[in-house]
Structure 1
């Protein structure tokens, strides 16, 4: 195989330069974008991962591409009909990956929004598909169903009142009135919540809104989809070990390059943390850094979006490659697993 999974495929660390290769900032005054942009995790066999998220959870496969740092591996993006920020869960599926170990410095749970009246439907659907789950519990006044995917990734569904009229992906057998409506929140497992909370509030546009036991809730004002991050403070745990079922990184929104650059500047000046140079991911432009609790954070632009290289009506149907990999298409397709 011409590509092997190595450090570059699983780890993105800050480089010495603060930032390079930003697009020319716009002089136009823009509204800030805050909240979760996407969450990226590691999975086992590609077909199994694809089936779970499209057939069981009823998400749309928004983009079928490859890991730009390990092109012999798919990179799947699942989300709503348009692949809007705040709905996107992405995976690097490696067929023989060893199971990960949850620990400090990792996203502990990825939480989706469902209509409040759909809780019973989803309990039945999980049972029907043989997916073990926890009994519904109350968390900050919300009803939460926790479960794991086929690789052990920790997921949850939260019933949210008044979202039945929001647009929903109708290309699966999940009825529109029951369908997932993007992310509700993400829960991070860290030792000290205060320093991570400072990054969330000062750099990423969140505000602390509630506390319950060892959980501290932060919310991005005015953001309904992907607008919540819960910090779970837990000392004494082992550090996370990446593998199947692990979250690799969590990405936060920036409206454009100019807003991203302002965040990076504030991160360095106020917190002494350097981000990587900007990386072009075709559908957004990103920088990465380790926050004080050791979770890998990304800041990703809302632009240009997933319809930049294929029509919105046919998102996820064809294998899309960045221009620098297009000359190698035949070799890449030869090593990628065949999907049904």
Structure 2
């Protein structure tokens, strides 16, 4: 029977740091970049040997600036990569030079091991083992294949018995770890009884996939697991697979070797362009804007700055020097408005920002007491913080204030409206989609204090918050701002007419 590890999947919160570690420091090849098959708005990266052969693959789902998980029982705890036995000293030196956290060398099950931590804190072991690569990488001491995974379990006996389904058999035990072997690699089952359970999130390994001979083997496995939580068979384009949780709760996948990563691009070009799942083909262009950008090692890159608000910067292929800063609505993220903004102005740089207040776990720009009563102190505090962020962002990314516009929707538009009143002329051009007046005590304005502010307000005729919009419009006009206000045949949701009107309004300002 075909046996062994097919791939291991983790979750990262910083895509650029992840690429720099796995493709840069370790020297693995990025063989595929896709939108997730379960959620196409989630970037999925695949690393491996020169062709991404089963048994060499490490994959990462990208949760950019996502919440950290916790390593504990019910999870994959470590991954191990085989490197030439005489290269351990060189790898230790490389890790020290690159400031990669490293422990060792030590001896485990008769093998020399270095323990590294990737930028998210995931433990990656380099094991001196003479395991040839299916498709060797250019660096003579690059990892050749996956050597092992460590599973953290509260019930080591049942976990070990379950793994026998995938071709693993008992070997030896060292302390709390029992080693199981297949024909090509090993699984270390660590008894973690009494420790905390793992929590999903960034910085943890989500699952390990084992190799299936073919599609029929996957279907047969599903029949054998009929009394468990086994899933249907999924077509992941590059392999067929199913998922199941073993008795201790660790997520396992069973995946075919074929058709492999060369099914949609030649071996020489692997990993160079983004693919989206077939079911999401109609929104491929939106996804290319929505998903985070990164540069391969050695490529020119836009450095991301660590500023006071979580943000994402999108650089179009043909930038025209303009920038649109984006503020999402309640429950949104820094990326939500990027597809809309890209359709409005394809040549604009996009700076999406995430609100810092939360309400029952969803992102907002300021707290509220109920649907129409807002925390005035929080509004002013977040407005002040955002004004400081704008100044930081202009310096950090070299933004041209004269060619920068701000686009906000709902709660994000409300914060912009408050800033326009509290900090005159900090924002010169703003498009406010479904905005209302949230300030209870409007600041006293000198006559003409807002002259020079150009504002577009688009309201919805059926929007339940629409009665609160005229107060904002009136306050801006009375201060001297130039306000164009339109009421659309829509509710609180955005419509195609919003896109058309904002595009026309922004085009008027282009030199």
- How far off its partner does 1:180 sit? 0.4
How large is the RMSD of aligned CA atoms in angstroms? 1.4
In structure 2, the residue matched to 1:157 is 126
Rounded Cα–Cα distance in structure 1 between residues aligned with 2:133 and 2:181: 22
Count residues with an aligned counterpart. 295
Q: Structure 2 regions of 5+ residues with no counterpart?
A: 296-511
In structure 2, the residue matched to 1:288 is 243
Q: In structure 2, the residue corresponding to 1:135 is in which secondary structure?
A: strand
Q: 2:98 aligns with which of 116, 123, 129?
A: 129
Q: 1:236 aligns with which of 178, 194, 209?
A: 194
Larger Rg: 2
Aligned 8 A contact 2:51 2:135 in 1 = no
- Whether 1:168 aligns to 2:136 is yes
- Whether 1:301 aligns to 2:256 is yes
- Whether 1:277 aligns to 2:238 is no
Rounded Cα–Cα distance in structure 1 between residues aligned with 2:135 and 2:291: 33
Deviations 1:221-271 (A, max 9, x none): 3x2xxx210000121111101122101111111011111122223334xxx
- What stretches of structure 1 move > 3 A for 4+ residues in a row? 163-167
Q: Structure 1 regions of 5+ residues with no counterpart?
A: 1-31
Q: 2:204 aligns with which of 225, 235, 246?
A: 246
Q: In structure 1, the residue corresponding to 2:221 is in which secondary structure?
A: helix
In structure 1, the residue matched to 2:160 is 197
Aligned 8 A contact 1:49 1:93 in 2 = no
TM-score by length of 2: 0.56
Deviations 1:168-207 (A, max 9, x none): 211xxxx32x110010000001111111111111x11111
Q: In structure 2, the residue corresponding to 1:294 is in which secondary structure?
A: coil
Rounded Cα–Cα distance in structure 2 between residues aligned with 1:273 and 1:325: 30
TM-score by length of 1: 0.84
Rounded Cα–Cα distance in structure 2 between residues aligned with 1:96 and 1:189: 26
Deviations 1:130-164 (A, max 9, x none): 01111211111001111210001111000014x46
Alignment of 1:255-266 (within 5 A): 255-266=213-224
Rounded Cα–Cα distance in structure 1 between residues aligned with 2:229 and 2:250: 14
Rounded Cα–Cα distance in structure 2 between residues aligned with 1:164 and 1:243: 33
Aligned 8 A contact 1:204 1:263 in 2 = no
Q: 1:267 aligns with which of 219, 225, 233?
A: 225
In structure 2, the residue matched to 1:18 is none
Aligned 8 A contact 1:154 1:245 in 2 = no
Deviations 1:278-336 (A, max 9, x none): 11111001111110111001111111111011111110001112221111111111111
Rounded Cα–Cα distance in structure 1 between residues aligned with 2:134 and 2:279: 38
Rounded Cα–Cα distance in structure 2 between residues aligned with 1:164 and 1:107: 24
Rounded Cα–Cα distance in structure 2 between residues aligned with 1:167 and 1:71: 29
Q: CA, structure 1 residues 232+35, in 2 after alignment: closer, same or farther (shift >3 Å)?
A: same
Q: Which has the higher helix share?
A: 2
- Whether 1:328 aligns to 2:275 is no
In structure 1, the residue matched to 2:61 is 92
Rounded Cα–Cα distance in structure 1 between residues aligned with 2:156 and 2:191: 6
